[in-house]
Structure 1
């Protein structure tokens, strides 16, 4: 859990990288279906590590590529 990352930031970061409006992403969507690939996922890992989620690993996100899972993992909040 990280205090510097919010649910809004996680959503905004994901939407930015896949080039869509945040409102187009439902919490339970598979982000790969929106075009999020492994390279972009690694960009997010590095971005979120720099924001304080030092223990975050690529596998943490790749195992379950859903916004709700990522938000809970990074913030402790529901998406």
Structure 2
């Protein structure tokens, strides 16, 4: 997930902070929608509003892994 966000931001993955709003780190609505579409295509049940309301990697991590079946 971090790598995908970093690619959209044009940053190395290690420069994307997990606990800082990705919107503050430069992710725009188009990038956010790109991620939603990509992850939904891979089976995640996530919406633009889900991610926009909680815009940090830490906040995205659990819902995405639970919803896409990779957890538990």
* Cα RMSD (Å): 1.4
Q: 5+ residue gaps in structure 2?
A: 67-72
Please report the TM-score for the alignment, with normalisation by the length of structure 2: 0.85
Q: How many residues in Structure 1 have an aligned counterpart in Structure 2?
A: 67
Of 42, 47, 53, which residue of structure 1 is paired with 2:33?
42
Please report the TM-score for the alignment, with normalisation by the length of structure 1: 0.78
Name the counterpart of 1:25. Answer: 16
Name the counterpart of 2:47. Answer: 57
Q: 5+ residue gaps in structure 1?
A: 1-9
Q: Displaced runs of 4+ in structure 1, greater than 4 A?
A: none
